[in-house]
Structures are given as structure tokens and as C-alpha cells.
Amino acid sequence: MTALPSLNCGGRLLPLAEPAVMGILNVTPDSFSDGGLHYAGDSRDVDRAVDAAAAMVAAGAAVIDVGGESTRPGAAPVSVEQELARVVPVIEALCARLDVVVSVDTSSAAVITAAAGAGAGLINDVRALRREGALAAAAATELPVCLMHMQATPATMQEAPHYTDVVAEVEQFFQDRIDACAEVGIHTGRLLLDPGFGFGKQLAHNVALFKALGQFAQRGLPLMVGVSRKTMIGQLLDCEVDQRVNGSVALALLAAQALYGSGGCLLRVHDVKQTVEAVQLWQAMRTTEAHNNN
């Protein structure tokens, strides 16, 4: 297999030849799984958040994704000022202490700009740069961007999601956003795509999208897969959010297998150590099999 290129994240390289793990660092009081755990309300919270990120890096995370606005179903938006106060001090502290790619999970143009200035190397936008000014702000940073599909908004997305053909509609959405990015100078070499599991989707939609990961990868762009602890796992396994680690790791591994040899795979997870170890075992078995076949 030809080695895949690395993604230049503000001067730090993110290799894509093997699945990479992104650790989730929500600095919010109300995220669905870890709300309040790393809430950046004062300097002690910043230190705690950085300590948590350091543990994820030690466990094998290649990216730390910092988010200051909850996008769980039914979540209310926060002000730009609140979001800036939550994420910028954490990003600055992370970049000062850790040698890791830092991603900012935001849709706000002001936060995109400020986070890039603080040292973030990747923009992860659940609204795919559709908020006012976000396209121009992202273009100006010259950073890679993850474009995620979401139907409606976090406050309303799970009320009655409907698709005629969810895979085809998400494919078309990706093309439309890729074209919009191209118009402002964000070329495909800076883009990742995320089908947006759980964002305006019912279980059947999520399953169909997961089965179509290989189809989405045919564009040759890296895919971000974020299924960690999500409702689809709870529905399939009949378990609450704090019991979804095993299901999360299993789906992450299935995604890694489905996307191996494509444009790259970034697994966005809460449980870094467990996911990294599962991927390492899969890689070891794959390498052993290839050796035995030679």
C-alpha cells in the first residue's frame, strides 16, 4: 500500500497511513457524556483539562479536540464570549505543554480565528462552516477543516429527522460544502469529512451511514468517525451512556477496518486508551497475517 500523506496541522504533522485517534476534551458544563468534567471556568479547571489531555496523549491520542459549546440533542447555543472564555485558555495551555495537534470544535468565526491564534492546528465544525463568516475565517487560518453533516440544529435535530436516501443526501451535502470551500481557497488537501452520526439521524440512518463509510472514502479525503458513547450504541445494546465503552471501541475498530487504505481515518473518542489498544491489536494481527503470506 502506498503511504498516505500527512495532514499539515499548523506545522504539526498528522500521519494518515494508519488510523489516528482524536481525544475529546469538552470544556462545557452540559455535554452529553462528560459535561462538567473538564469545564474551563477558572485556572484550576484549565489545569485539570490539560492534565486530562496529557493523559490522553500518553495513551496514544494524536489529536486533542477542544469544544466549548455542547452540541448534544436539545442543546442551547452559547454566546461567542462564553465560548472564547472556555476554549482559548485551554488551547494556549495545551500548546505550551504538549506536543500534539490541537483541534477546536467550533462553528463561530471569531472562535476559529482566536483558536488558530492560540495554536490550534485543526478546525472541527459540526455546521460545516455554514455560520456567518466561518468560511472566510477558516480560509484565513490556512488550517485543515473537518466538515460534518448535520440536519437542522442541535436544538431541533432529533425532533423528526427525515431522509429519502440518507447516504446520497450526505454525499451531496459533502460535495456542496467542498465546492463552497473551494470558492474561498480551501482546497481538498485541507479537508476532512464527517457523516455526523447522531446529528439529525435516527438509528436506521446512522447504521446506513456507517455501512457506507467505504463509499464516502472513495473521494480520497480523510474521514472523521465520531460514534463514541452515542445513542445509536445505547439503542443497539440497550445500555446507558456510562456503559457504552465496549460498543464505542467495537464501532471505532470496525470503522478503522472499513477505511484502511483510503484517504485516512480519524477516530474521535472519549475512551482513548481502550480505542488505541484495540487498533494496535488489529494492526498487529494485520501485520502478522501479511508476513505469513509472504
> Which residues are catalytic, by number?
230, 268
For cell 490550534, the residue is 120
106 and 67 in contact (C-beta within 8 Å)? yes
The one-letter code for the residue type at 69 is: E
126 and 81 in contact (C-beta within 8 Å)? no
Distance in angstroms (rounded) separating the CA atoms of residues 135 and 181 = 7
Distance in angstroms (rounded) separating the CA atoms of residues 248 and 233 = 7
Distance in angstroms (rounded) separating the CA atoms of residues 224 and 268 = 7
Beta bridge partner(s), residue 24: 65
Residue 248 neighbours by CB under 8 Å, 6+ apart: 227, 228, 229, 230, 233, 269, 270, 271, 274, 275
48 and 182 in contact (C-beta within 8 Å)? no
